[in-house]
Structure 1
Amino acid sequence: MATGIVGEFLDLKAETDADVLAMQCGDFYEFFADDAELVADELDLTVSQKSSHGSSYPMAGVPLSELTPYVKALVERGYRVAVADQYETDAGDHAREITRVVTPGTLLETSDDDARYLAAVVREGDGGGRGTDDGRADSGCDHGPYGLALADVTTGRFLVTELDDASDLRAELYRFDPAEVLPGPGLRNDDDLLAAVREDLSGSVSVFDAEAFAPGRARHAVSEQFGDEAADSVGIDSEPAIRAAGAVLAYVEETGAGVLASITRLTAYGDGDHVDVDATTQRNLELTETMRGDADGTLFETVDHTVTAAGGRRLREWLTRPRRDRDALERRLDAVEALASAALARDRVREVLGDAADLERLAARTTSGSAGARELLSVRDTLALVPALADAVAETTLADSPVAAVLDGVDRERTSALREELADALAEDPPQTKTQGGLLRKGYDDELDELIERHEAVTEWLDTLAEREKREHGLSHVTVDRNKTDGYYIQVGKSVADRVPEGYREIKTLKNSKRFVTDELEEREREVLRLEEARGELEYELFEALRERVAADAELLQDVGRAIAEIDALASLATHAAGNDWTRPTLTDERRLDVEAGRHPVVERTTDFVPNDLELDAERGFLIVTGPNMSGKSTYMRQAALIQLLAQAGSFVPARAAEVGLVDGIYTRVGALDELAQGRSTFMVEMQELSNILHSATADSLVILDEVGRGTATYDGISIAWAATEYLHNEVRARTLFATHYHELTTLADHLPRVENVHVAVDERDGEVTFLRTVRDGPTNRSYGVHVADLAGVPDPVVSRAAEVLDRLRAEKAIEARGGSRDGADSAGHGSRDGNADGEGGDTKQVVFDLSSGSFAAADERSRPAGAGATGRSSADGSTADGSADGGTATAGVDPETAAVIEELSSVDVAETTPVELLSRVQEWQERLDR
């Protein structure tokens, strides 16, 4: 068993659940055993060996002053790192204790400008810290409500809310993308939740003491941090929310981040003021991340012209959490309009902002005790920008805009006082370290000034010693210097070394010179060391007091930081609006979205964009969008959603004019990738997304459906799309755009009063097809899938054959099903299927497609309903191709079981059937037909 340093390391490691321990040993932090090999692999450190009582252990280390970047690198890769610092015992020995555990959610020293959240999630009824031994809830409750608390320890921001169900929870986690999630006791074995976290987020999941989630303990933690009445005053009365908040506070305290003092405000959100934009919609609209996971090509990247890190965070928040408060949005639009129309003033404001440091994060660093003199200088310099920013606003047309009001929330007097105090205290070019002196100005403290004067007097004596020795003793080549080995010394060239005075004592011989000391020099050296130590201790003590003074004003720094962030975000939106011909939307409480010459905000940057109009209102509330693939249907619908979202973010929009009725939610379904790792196929994901929309959307929502039912058999798909359309129209009544290739759905416009058809126009001349990208009223006349296949580079024989099959299907003629290639070989060159290469086409059989059965049948074997055409094809309204009514010949020649299914389908009242029940019935019918 290891003893000594290695034994102490292993004992400390056993005390923590951290993945890695960094233990201070003098001027280094050391890693031993498995930890040494881990950090060596991750950080490319050199591994040596440390012997301990006959055993050898891997060892790696980093200098004391260089630990932070190594810890940061490890934590950003998902590791939890414990730090053990060294201290001196009463007996004069050295001991070590763990002073901090750095986790992904409590990392302060991040270089990423984005917010870095720690989240805790609690489900109501999960036991409140009294769960079963395996972490499952006592109650067995599988649903919400959920409490969610989020803390950004780098800025002190603290948010708390209650969410109704797992879908809402997933949307919020996706929006904030926390670096670390603490599941409550009843959620630790919730595979669905944990899978969703790992699927949607880049962060890690950590298990924390169940008792921290207990209601009484959590409420006490919240009261201690924010005051007894804080939760009630901001409207937080949800026990799950309080429990989540208490757990976050306990975790921040236990890990030793030291930032609780910067967490000054308890903010409740989710109070009905924000638009519901679920995780699927955020992903589909590519707000902050493209479908491929890139930042380039997103809405945020498009409109982000911020010049500060805090401004970028604020803009991202506005885009992912649009608002419903019309008055607040009008104020934001007023500010954007003022900045957009005052180019010179806007440029001056952005120029001033460009010099601003991230005060929200600096506030957290001061409260944690990790801020150095240079960071306090950044605080000073940024506070000095407040009057300059106020002048840039006051002297222009911005003075009468909401931009000026943003600065009104800053206490100018306190800001000025703190800035002056820092200016009086800090040296202009302080060193990186805090203990070697040089941090503070002369005149800041009398005792320090006296030490500095005495130190300067001694150093002056030392600086002039060489010249005095040359002058008094006639020596040449004399220098006075200092190093760690020899201390101060007098160095004399060998050619005159034999002429040094009697009091010189030789301490070292070099190639061309000798080094000497004298009694007086040694005395001066001892005095310098005493003064340097005293100055360092006093100056560091004074600096710590100054830092604590700044930390006491953490809330002031946060106020200034928030003001800077808001003005920066507003200026960013104005810059983009002015440079890209965007217009101010007219907000209304009416249920409408009326856009003239609208454009897609991202696509318009990279292509010669064709603008389109859009009209959705009470009478025209559901648009069925048809047209070929690649013609622009998806872009048209996404731009509608993005214009709605931008307007409710307080931004101008890409259009000639826009009247936007406020919505409570934006929901999209625009295709899905197979999620086989989670056991969910494309069609299952599609149905889950459709289910979420049908359950969540209201009459005040905007719904975007880009294909429904394409992942299953044709009849199933049409049935689901038809039923979903009726349900959205009759029950939900949301403003809806629905793109589909099921042309049967276009007949719904003749029967449902709010449904209208629009299509993307195509110009077809002399066999050439041109996609016009223009949206016009009415349904498209046909699809152009074969043409798109040709554009995509599908081999000519396939395109030609597809066109031939399509023509025969349209003409309701039989089709030859070719079993082999033209030269008598099959597609692999091995002959026809029966082993024959008998010339023209191999196996060939006449077949027709029967829409009533959804399959091909041999032309000579297929029984046709009396009076039907070649295929007996039914139209969307239930009539057959020859015009006979459903029920006359629709089931003639059909087996009894199939006829029974048709009869049941005909009798279903779609308007009175829930989507879930309808999907269940469709699945049952399909199984019966398969049998």
Structure 2
Amino acid sequence: MAHYTPMIQQYLKVKAEHQDAFLFFRLGDFYEMFFEDALKASQELEITLTSREGGGDEKIPMCGVPYHSAQSYIEQLIEKGYKVAICEQTEDPKQAKGVVRREVVQLITPGTLMEGRGLNDKENNYIASVTPFADNTFGLAYSDLSTGESKVTLLSNQFDEVLNELAVLGAKEVVIPSNFNGELQKQMRDRSAITLSFEDKDGTEESFSSLLLDLTQNKLKQTAARLFHYLYRTQKRSLDHLQSVSTYQIQQYLKIDYFSKRNLELTETIRSKGKKGSLLWLLDGTMTAMGGRMLKQWIDRPLIDKHEIIRRQNLVDTLIQHYFERQDLREKLKEVYDLERLAGRVAFGNVNARDLVQLKRSLTQIPFLKEIVRQFETEEAVELAEQLDPVEEVTDLLEQAIVDNPPLSLKEGNMIRDGYNAQLDQFRDASRNGKTWIAQLEQKEREKTGIKSLKVGYNRVFGYYIEVTRANLHLLQEGQYERKQTLTNAERFITPELKEKEALILQAEEKIGELEYELFTNIRETVKEYIPRLQSLAKNASKLDVLQCFAQVSEERRFVKPQFSEERRIVIKDGRHPVVEKVLNSQEYVPNDCYMDSEREVLLITGPNMSGKSTYMRQIALIAILAQIGCYVPANEAVLPIFDQVFTRIGAADDLISGQSTFMVEMLEAKNAITNATQNSLILFDEIGRGTSTYDGMALAQAMIEYIHNRIGAKTLFSTHYHELTVLEENLPKLKNVHVSAVEHNGKVVFLHKIKEGPADKSYGIHVAQLAELPNELIARAEEILQELEAEPMPQPSAVAIKEEYHEPSGQLSFFDEPKEIDQSHTPSAKEKRVLEQLKKLDILDMTPLQAMNTLYELHKKIKS
């Protein structure tokens, strides 16, 4: 680097330590970037690329952003998954010998955002760490730096569990050791476009040892320690708001894998990836940002502890019964700001006076909330009321110290109340009296000289001065004032008395600014001592917010309180899909029943496309999930078991990123359910096998139904277009046929959306095509082909013998009667040979079903004529 200038050498040394980040290098009023950073940043941020001399043979690429507007540029880079290292001057330029010393003061990454538009108010911003162990298990820890919550768990030797947990958390960044398996790194990046960071230290250090006290296993300590090493190394500041790490096990909650969560559209829709149209969108009547985050956490992790579910239900029940008190609660909660993130900003040191005023206003609402909840007098309500700690010491301090409308900047002053500090009051008195004296001086000098336009002004260069226009100079007596500055149209003067007052005023104002900032810092440090209590309050206020939201939604949408069955019974009367019901007019929605018990474990659902099979299946799952988060459910009556897992295979979608076809995705999701489901699980399979040939698909579908029926015993809803499978009811005692009814009217199909017992009698495929407004000519041709095909004698499928001992090896499944023996003496005619040649040349895999049908029809005509 010798040929570069000292400043560029300094830049390169710092950049060498942060090669995976954009280096924002402070030069005066700008953050500058050089070399590759400049080339890339100019494209990503659409800013001008320039160059400068740096001592080398060629000019160095350079671009920069003003330091006062850098935040928006940093956020743009973070949103795109990049990291930004902030390099500030850490030495006074006046005292520097040579190049001013500069150091990286913070590394901002997707997982360590503390403020700005990159943070969604109602979503956590998690950073996770994953640690592999020799026994093939994985430790996973995660933290939200903006709220301070941290958790850790151990996962099995299946890396899919790690991927699923990261997806459920929505982690933005994952910290791993540098020797982490490369293929597994690729899987993490491909699955959810996560930013990967590296940290090899995993030992406990004094700076965060207190956070690990509750962890007894070394694996858990190592995993959490790796995350904290990274956070302390990159943030380089106080992280006093980080809470003690708590352990959890995924088996403690209703397990919903990533695919099922997506298929059920719990927190975002499949199509738009947005919140609108999801279960979260339907339920979110929370009044606070922290309540919104807790609601999402509850949906992501429904309970399996019946006692805790019933505690939540009882509180919801109480809130429903007290309508007016609930409305009061909602109004008070509206005034509560994000206590969790405010506490985080206090610890982080980036809180301002307005944030502290928000904190004070929030805390003043807590006694009212506490009193309202205490009035309910139920055991759960009284306990929750006691947990609402108003932290009065902080309220009193902020009321005494901070003015009601402070400025945004901490350097402007005017944020500390009069009377809070005696020294500050003295300085303010000197400043105010001095300015009064200046105003009086101006009036006195006007009267004395007779110059009405005379004024006393101030600028930073000359201080206070008396200004007289040229036209009035003749009115001044010789030597009356001391000349200070000559302007085009005026002269400026000073007097000894004016300079004396100026020194007093400016000294007071300078000391006011310094003292106010010092006092504010002390107030912030005092508030920091109460962070654990503020975080505890935030959790309990969030819980109250979510429960009132459940009560509000349950009452508005006519939900009922579900009961839980120990006999694994499902009894749902007039159940509805809550989101579809809201999107449609509730008057138009057709409710449906569902009954399942120990003699009715599998429902085989048939019926035409667009008739509502998928909606029916999803609504059963959503009703179960709503029940297990403690909410009421959309039905007139609901009795449910407590499920341990929910698996779904609904909808068709290629996984283009990993290069998997629709059918492969279908098989992988089916495999996940079949290998992990237990008797207490809920399985929803929609149209399994449709991604391959008819007979392959039918064979796989039947084999899966048999396996689930005989081996697993899970409650299963299985929809299919293979009407031949309905005969399985005769051989599988716990399988029952149901169908979605439809009728024909004037040659058109009318969907009734009603689930009835028994199999469907028709598929109505051409009618659905007609509803989709395919060309009339095409529809007519399809009906013609259908009539000809139905006229042909087709081999009829027969039920395959069901093996009682499923694990015994069996031969190829046979869906058709054995063909008659072919007459080997028959010699094909010339016409038959031509047809056979045409058959050989066909590329079946490259044909659409319609093309295949037409080709088959043409060949059939030739062979018959």
CA distance in structure 1 between the partners assigned to 2:413 and 2:657 by the alignment: 58
2:339–2:534 Cα contact (<8 Å) kept: yes
Match for residue 566 of structure 1? Answer: 543
Instruction: Indicate the residue corresponding to 2:416 in structure 1.
Output: 440
Which of 180, 189, 194 aligns to 1:198? It is: 189
Correspondence 1:92 to 2:95: yes
Contact 1:476 1:493 in 2 (8 A): no
Classify the secondary structure of the residue corresponding to 2:425: helix
The equivalent of 2:862 in structure 1 is none
> 2:827 corresponds to which residue?
none
Partner of 1:103: 109
Between the aligned partners of 2:103 and 2:93, the Cα distance in structure 1 is: 15
1:487 is matched with: 463
Tell me how far apart the structure 1 counterparts of residues 666 and 129 of structure 2 sit (CA, whole Å).
Answer: 30
Offset of residue 444 of structure 1: 2.0
1:161 aligns with 2:161: no
> Helix, strand or coil: the match of 1:294?
coil
The whole-number CA distance in structure 2 between the counterparts of 1:559 and 1:624 is 48
CA contact (8 A) 1:593 1:614 kept: yes
Cα deviation, 1:365-391, whole Å, max 9, x if unaligned, reads 111111111111111111111112123
Aligned to 1:329: 309
Q: Distance in 2 between matches of 1:554 and 1:643?
A: 38
Out of 401, 405, 413, the position equivalent to 2:383 is 405
Q: State the Cα distance separating 1:173 from its structure 2 match.
A: 1.1
Shift of 1:798: 2.3
Distance 2:250 2:577 in 1: 30
Residues of 2 paired with 1:467 and 1:893: CA distance?
A: 125
CA gap 1:557/1:889 in 2 versus in 1, 3 angstroms: closer
2:762 is matched with which residue: 782, 793, 796?
A: 782
**Cα displacement (A) at 1:495:** 2.7
Structure 2 counterpart of 1:516, which letter? F
Match status 1:416 vs 2:401: no
Contact 2:800–2:815 under 8 Å retained in 1 = no
CA separation of 1:458 and 1:254: change in aligned 2, threshold 3 A: same
Deviation at 1:38, TM superposition (A): 4.3
Q: Quote how far apart the aligned CAs of 1:355 are.
A: 1.2
Contact 2:175/2:199, CA 8 A, preserved across alignment? no
Answer yes or no: is the 8 Å Cα contact 2:190–2:657 preserved in 1: no
Contact 2:628 / 2:642 at 8 angstroms: preserved in 1?
Answer: yes
* Structure 2 letter corresponding to 1:117: Y
Q: In the alignment, which of 622, 625, 633 is matched to residue 605 of structure 2? A: 625
Out of 341, 346, 355, which is 1:375 matched to?
355
Structure-2 change in CA distance of 1:874 and 1:43 (3 Å)? closer
Residues 1:676 and 1:626: Cα distance change in structure 2 (over 3 Å)? same
Query: For residues 667 and 332 of structure 1, what CA distance do their matches in structure 2 show?
Result: 25
Q: Which runs of 5+ in 1 are unaligned?
A: 126-140, 814-869, 880-885, 897-931
Go from structure 1 to structure 2 and tell me whether the alpha carbon gap of 1:763 and 1:530 turns closer, same or farther (over 3 Å shift): same
- The residue type equivalent to 2:387 in the other structure is G
* CA distance 1:438–1:889, change in 2 (3 Å): closer
* Structure 1 match to 2:582: 605
Question: Offset of 1:562 from its aligned partner?
Answer: 1.3
- Partner Cα distance (1:572, 1:651) in 2: 9
Residue deviations 1:578-623 (CA, integer Å, cap 9, x gap): 1111111112333122111011011101222100001122111110
Counterpart of 2:199 in structure 1 is: 209
Task: Indicate the SS of the match to 2:578.
Answer: coil
User: Is structure 2 residue 674 aligned with structure 1 residue 682?
Assistant: no
Structure 1 partner of 2:25: 23
Offset at residue 687 of structure 1 (A): 0.8
Name the CA distance, whole Å, in 2 between partners of 1:592 and 1:484.
82
Displacement of 1:328 after TM fit? 1.0
Specify the code of the residue in structure 1 equivalent to 2:87: A
Equivalences for residues 738-753 of structure 1 within 5 A = 738-753=718-733
C-alpha deviation, 1:577, in angstroms: 1.3
Instruction: Report the Cα distance in structure 2 between the residues aligned to 1:400 and 1:889, rounded to whole angstroms.
Output: 68
Single out whichever of 367-376 and 886-895 deviates more from structure 2: 886-895
Find the aligned partners of 2:37 and 2:289 in 1 and give their Cα distance: 34
Q: Does structure 2 conserve the Cα–Cα contact (< 8 Å) formed by 1:177 and 1:203? A: no
Give the letter aligned to residue 504 of structure 2: E
* Residue equivalent to 1:231: 215
The answer to whether the 8 Å contact 2:724/2:797 transfers is: no
State the match for 2:505 in structure 1. Answer: 528
1:791 maps to which of 745, 751, 771: 771
Residue 454 of structure 1 is matched in structure 2 by 430
The C-alpha deviation readout for 1:411-458, integer Å capped at 9, x for no partner, is 34xx01111011111122222222342221222223333333233333
Is 2:684 aligned against 1:704?
Answer: yes
When structure 1 is superposed on structure 2, of 738-747 and 401-410 the one drifting more is: 401-410
Structure 1 residue 713: deviation in Å? 1.6
Is contact 2:316-2:550 (8 Å) kept? yes
Q: Deviation at 1:400? A: 2.8
Tell me the percent identity. Answer: 36
Judging changes above 3 Å, is the alpha-carbon distance between structure 1 residues 40 and 512 closer, same or farther for their aligned structure 2 residues?
A: farther
Task: Give the whole-Å Cα distance in 2 for the aligned partners of 1:895 and 1:309.
Answer: 78
Matched pairs, number: 799
Preserved CA contact (<8 Å) 2:435 2:505: yes
Report the CA distance between 1:638 and its aligned residue. Answer: 0.4
Give the alignment partner of residue 284 of structure 1, picking from 251, 263, 267: 263
| Structure 2 runs not aligned, ≥5 long | 803-813, 825-865
Task: Indicate the residue corresponding to 2:131 in structure 1.
Answer: 122
Contact 2:175–2:230, Cα closer than 8 Å, also in 1: no
Q: What letter corresponds to residue 121 of structure 1 in structure 2?
A: V
- For residues 530-557 of structure 1, the C-alpha deviation after alignment (integer angstroms, 9 at most, x for no partner) is 3233232222222112111111211111
Distance 1:348 1:708, change over 3 A: same
Q: List per-residue Cα deviations over 1:784-835 (Å, max 9, x = no partner).
A: 1111111112222322222222223333x2xxxxxxxxxxxxxxxxxxxxxx
Name the aligned partner's letter for residue 120 of structure 1.
Answer: S
Q: State how far apart, in whole Å, the 2-side matches of 1:403 and 1:888 are.
A: 65
Q: 1:509 to 1:676 in 2, by over 3 A?
A: same
Deviation of 1:238 (Å): 6.2
2:796 is equivalent to residue 873 of structure 1: yes
- The separation in 2 between residues aligned to 1:895 and 1:332, in whole angstroms, is 74
Question: Which residue number in structure 2 is paired with residue 816 of structure 1?
Answer: none
Normalization by structure 1: what TM-score? Answer: 0.81
What's 2:849 paired with? none
Counterpart amino acid of 1:82?
Answer: A
Determine if contact 2:210/2:244 at 8 Å carries over to the other structure: no
- Assess if the C-alpha contact under 8 Å between 1:669 and 1:706 holds in 2: yes
3-state SS of paired residue (1:99): strand
CA drift at 1:159: 1.2
Alignment counterpart, residue 346 of structure 1, candidates 323, 326, 336: 326
C-alpha spacing 1:186/1:440, structure 2 compared with 1 (3 Å): same
Q: Which residue of 1 aligns with 2:75?
A: 72
1:318 is aligned to 298
Counterpart code for 2:798: S
Structure 2: how far apart are the matches of 1:238 and 1:519?
75
Higher mean displacement: 501-510 or 468-477: 501-510
Q: How far apart, in 2, do the equivalents of 1:22 and 1:887 lie? A: 69
Structure 2: which amino acid aligns with 1:209?
A: E
In 2, Cα distance between equivalents of 1:9 and 1:872: 79
- Looking at structure 2, the residues matched to 695 and 58 of structure 1 have their Cα atoms a distance apart, in angstroms, of 56
Output the CA distance in 2 between the equivalents of 1:721 and 1:749: 14
Q: Alpha carbons of 1:766 and 1:537: their partners in 2 closer, same or farther (altered >3 Å)?
A: closer
Higher mean C-alpha deviation, range 283-292 or range 558-567: 558-567
Match of 1:468 among 432, 444, 450: 444
Query: Quick one: which amino acid aligns to residue 209 of structure 2?
Result: E
Other-structure match for 2:858: none
**Which residue number in structure 1 is paired with residue 848 of structure 2?**
none
Select between 278-287 and 42-51 the one with higher mean Cα deviation: 42-51
- Secondary structure, aligned partner of 1:496: helix
Equivalent position of 2:242 in the other structure:
263
Aligned counterpart, 1:181:
174
Q: Is contact 2:550-2:631 (8 Å) kept? A: yes
Q: 1:677 to 1:65 in 2, by over 3 A?
A: closer
CA distance in structure 2 between the aligned counterparts of 1:182 and 1:652, rounded to whole angstroms: 39
- Alignment partner of 2:235: what SS? coil
Q: Are 1:245 and 2:190 matched, yes or no?
A: no
